[in-house]
Amino acid sequence: MKTCLIVIDAQESFRHRPYSSERDMPAYLAAQNALIEGAVARGLPVVRVLHADGPKTAGNPFALESGHVAPLAGLVDFTPAASFVKSRHSALVGTGLDVWLTENGISRLIISGIRTEQCCETTTRHASDLGWAVDYVPDATLTWDMRHLDGSLLAASDIKARTAAVLTERFATICSVPQALARAAEVAGTGA
């Protein structure tokens, strides 16, 4: 079973949104970088997915014209096996990623990136529904605090816990960084 790491929307655009905070960024980057470096060391393909949509103006951080649809500062430099730009929540909609995965014999995905409950969760559900086995790595995802409809705080840590709870055993196996890398080695039969 061939495994691929997907790094979703780990891009500078988010640092230019009003909700952005650097509070959880160091922990996220440490986990994301460890996952990328571990995948590269094991010879796993690493795919980069970036998000671009909205008005095509320099003032929109998700427009290519802004210059912010670029890898997140602090993210380890890597040469992606493939790169895709998406405009929907799922990385599998309209990008050709599904075709690339199929053509390359990928049967297991490791999902990581930004935002935990949006593009990472949506891609996980979509991939599972299409038949891929998915390992979801909450530590290697990032989100920010939100507000409930009544205005009360919904903490980023609670969003991450909720996402893991709703995905586990139905759409994905929830893994730490070491667990995801170990599982990729086990299914490849390398034991590395």
The number of distinct structural domains making up the chain is 1
Q: What is the pLDDT of residues 86-100, one digit of tens each?
A: 999 999 999 999 999
- The chain-wide mean pLDDT, for the chain, equals 96
- pLDDT of amino acid 186: 85
Q: What is the pTM of this model?
A: 0.96
pLDDT confidence of residue 1: 74
**Contact (CB, 8 A) for 123 and 132:** no
Q: How confident is the model at residue 192 (pLDDT cuts 50, 70, 90)?
A: very low
Tens of pLDDT, residue by residue over 148-189, are: 999 999 999 999 999 999 999 999 999 999 999 999 988 766
CA dist., res. 48 & res. 80, Å (int)? 6
pLDDT in tens, 111-153: 999 999 999 999 999 999 999 999 999 999 999 999 999 999 9
| Host domain of residue 114 | 2-188
Query: Which CATH number do you get for residue 93?
Result: 3.40.50.850
Q: How far apart are CA 62 and CA 22, in angstroms?
A: 19
CA-CA distance, 107 to 117, in Å (whole number)?
Answer: 23
How many percent of the chain have pLDDT more than 70? 97
The share of the chain scoring above pLDDT 90, in percent, equals 95
Lookup: tokens for 123? 């891609």
Ordered strands of the 173-174 beta sheet: 82-86, 46-51, 2-8, 106-114, 133-142, 173-174
> Angle at which helices 25-41 and 177-188 pack, to 10 degrees?
20
**What is the arithmetic mean of pLDDT over 43-66?**
97
Q: State residue 46's pLDDT score.
A: 98
Per-residue pLDDT, 108: 97
At 68 the pLDDT is: 98
pLDDT at 181: 98
